[in-house]
Amino acid sequence: MTQPGLFIYPWNFSEEGVPQLVEYVRGLGIERLYLTSTYHAGFFLHPHGSGRRVRMLEDGVVYFRPHQPSWASSVIQPVVSELCAAGNLFGEICQTARQYDLEVSAWTVCLHNTRLGLLHPESTIHNVYGDSYPHALTPADPAARDYVIRLVADLAKNYPLHSILLEAPNYRGRAHGGTWVTGHHHERTGLHLRELEESLLDISFNPADVKAAQQAAVDVEAVRVAVRSHLDKYFKAAPAVDEELAATLVEFRARVPELVDYEAHFRRSEASLLDELKAVVEPSGVKLVTSANHTSADIVFVAAYGESIERIARITRNAKQQLAAHQQLVVGIRLGFYSPGMGTPVLSEQELSRAVDTAISHGADTVALYNYGEAPRRCIEWIRQISSAE
């Protein structure tokens, strides 16, 4: 096993000092930093911060200095964080990490960006009613796609990176939050939505998606009519449920087979974007890390956050079996999150060691620990044991 990686934010370095924090994490036995290069909104508690304990993030900014000539003709422009207003914090971290033989992977959020979505609603996912989801740029839109490609190319060409980890290079759902991460947008739903209705509201009818799918001979209009009709009837009957409606997505697909063809368009759009991103990083020798097991990925990342030992073993085995010969596997393990409903906690050095050993013994090449800023300090210190045990 190579030594573990660690997810970390640039503001951790601005608070604690770049050389001091680089030296500290290297001393823990960390081999690779997954360092935020772009990020979405967040309202975080940092239990061991040197100054602030609670931080509201700038929404949808980049934490590096873009190479301006590369962006001259881009419709969607990156917004630089205030942390980098007076310099290039990201570049300083990368250079210092290199001095300590510490690899850097740029943790890059691609299409999840509310700031840019509000500025460019034409590039976001639109539901069947035409409503924009501002947190979700669609990979079919030329301007959104161009933004992500330039972003990744800029990082690969101008920074000494081992790899670029892609977060959200795919279609996003209606909900800005998730099961254990919720948005700060005060999202509300005043009636019960089954999994089917949630899925139908997730479907993108952005004009770019419609056009691309129609060019592939998909009957998008049939999908649109069926989705809207279903949702209209569901809303009209609420809080009761119209028994004539499909109850599951499988049943809905059976009634509307055109949806299967439209869903294939979404997968093609995601896959072709990954192919283009691979093409822009390859000349720089930078590896591509994705959570999608796509041939363009050099490294496949699978999250086992809050999972039991048995589930870590199963998740790792399943991911390993699907790898291509050229791919490596990294398993993510979460530190410090142990609230009710957050899954199986890691509460001791021994439990962390067991989780890591389980991932490695079932096929992972290494692990990535999540994350420095949000985990309690004593959880961070446990990393020394798993590094020294190799």
Q: What is the pLDDT of residues 53-66, one digit of tens each?
A: 888 889 999 999 99
Q: What is the pLDDT of residues 12-54, one digit of tens each?
A: 999 999 999 999 999 999 999 999 999 998 888 889 977 778 8
pTM of the complete model? 0.94
pLDDT class of 267 with cuts at 50, 70, 90: very high
43: left (phi over 0), alpha (psi -120 to 50) or beta: beta
pLDDT above 90: residue 386? no
pLDDT class of 179 with cuts at 50, 70, 90: low
Q: What is the mean pLDDT of residues 358-366?
A: 96
Q: What is the pLDDT of residues 70-97, one digit of tens each?
A: 999 999 999 999 999 888 999 999 999 9
Angle between helices 195-202 and 220-237 (to 10 degrees): 140
Task: Report the alpha-carbon distance of residue 220 to residue 250 in Å, rounded.
Answer: 18
Beta bridge partner(s), residue 136: 112
Q: What is the mean pLDDT of residues 207-223?
A: 98
H-state helical runs in 159-303: 195-202, 207-215, 220-237, 249-255, 258-281
pLDDT above 70: residue 369? yes
DSSP one-letter string for 229-246:
HHHHHHHHHTTS--TTS-
Residue 188: the pLDDT is 79
Which amino acid is present at 375?
A
Residue 86: the pLDDT is 84
pLDDT above 80: residue 337? no
pLDDT above 70: residue 319? yes
Q: What is the mean pLDDT of residues 345-355?
A: 93
Task: Report the alpha-carbon distance of residue 59 to residue 151 in Å, rounded.
Answer: 16
Contact, 134 vs 187, CB < 8 A? no
